[in-house]
Copies of this chain bind each other. A is one copy, B any other.
Amino acid sequence: MSHFCLPSGMHRSDITKVAPLVRRRVRVLKGDALFHPGDAADAVYAVRVGTIKTCITTASGRNQVVTFHLPGEIIGLESLVQVTHACRATALEDTSLCLIPSDVLKAQAVHIAPLRNRLLEAFSHEARHQRDQAVMLGQMTAEERIATFLLSLSERLSARGFAASEFLLRMSREDIGSHLGLKLETVSRILSRMGGAGLLRVRARNVAILDRDMLEHVSQGLRPLLPRTQPQAPRMTM
């Protein structure tokens, strides 16, 4: 339940709470990086408009999308603790962010109790989010992962005032797959399948959720898998 709403970063209200600390705005063009692995980690960011993905590269050179950051969400909390970034943060569309220098944030946290608590909460939230992601990757099928992912996107977007049931996927099929531990072909197939089953309407990167209840059932594995090819006569009378 509560483990499976997978938004990341702080809540909406957090943005306004720390508003006085914001030092400047940053713009990142589609495809450009906000920071690279190895860069000095000296600021925390909040997405104002746009979308950012953070990717990590493993020792063996494989890449994985760790998180998609939507408007209102926080990036780079780790810079309060570490000196360099481990991830690469890339803009999926032209994006503008608020920048708060991490030393300012740390200095202010000494005096302001609510801010301290907010930081703890944000970290805790991040840990929970990553744990839920691990649980998802550990035991969900491809269909369950994609259903969960779409519902999470829907929820987070609607929390920011966007339409809950019709939205644009800012990321490629490959990005989605990377985030969910799947290949792009599998993502594509399952989106098509969900479209065919009437759960979604998918046209390129436009997605409309047509049957949210059913999608939730799928996300919890309560439903036999959707038909792989066409349904056929399910079982003849012997």
A residues sitting closer than 8 Å to B (CB atoms) are 1-4, 56, 58-60, 62, 64, 66, 77-78, 80-82, 86, 109-110, 113, 116, 119-121, 123-124, 126-128, 130-131, 133-135, 137-139, 178-181, 220-222
CB < 8 Å neighbour of A56 from B62, B113, B124, B131: B131
CB < 8 Å neighbour of A133 from B81, B130, B220: B130
Q: Given A66-B131, A130-B130, A130-B131, does the pair A138, B1 have CB atoms closer than 8 Å?
A: no
Copies of this chain in the oligomer = 2
CB < 8 Å neighbour of A139 from B2, B62, B123: B62
Whether the Cβ atoms of B124 and A78 lie closer than 8 Å is: yes
Whether the Cβ atoms of B64 and A138 lie closer than 8 Å is: yes
A223 to chain B: closest CB distance in Å? 11
Residues of chain B within 8 A of A135, CB atoms compared: 56, 58, 64, 66
Q: Given A4-B59, A58-B4, A60-B220, does the pair A127, B123 have CB atoms closer than 8 Å?
A: yes
**Distance of A121 Cα from B133 Cα, bound (Å):** 21
Residues of chain B within 8 A of A60, CB atoms compared: 220-222
Given A86-B128, A130-B134, A131-B133, 7 new contacts (CB under 8 A): A3-B58, A59-B220, A64-B138, A64-B139, A66-B131, A134-B134, A137-B138
Ordered nearest first, which 6 A-B pairs have the shortest CB separation?
A130-B130, A138-B181, A137-B137, A123-B123, A60-B220, A81-B124
- Identify which of A109, A121, A131 gathers the most chain B CB atoms within 10 Å of its CB: A131
Q: Given A133-B130, A134-B66, does the pair A139, B58 have CB atoms closer than 8 Å?
A: yes
Residues of chain B within 8 A of A120, CB atoms compared: 80-81, 119-120, 123
Whether the Cβ atoms of A78 and B139 lie closer than 8 Å is: no
**Distance of A11 Cα from B220 Cα, bound (Å):** 37
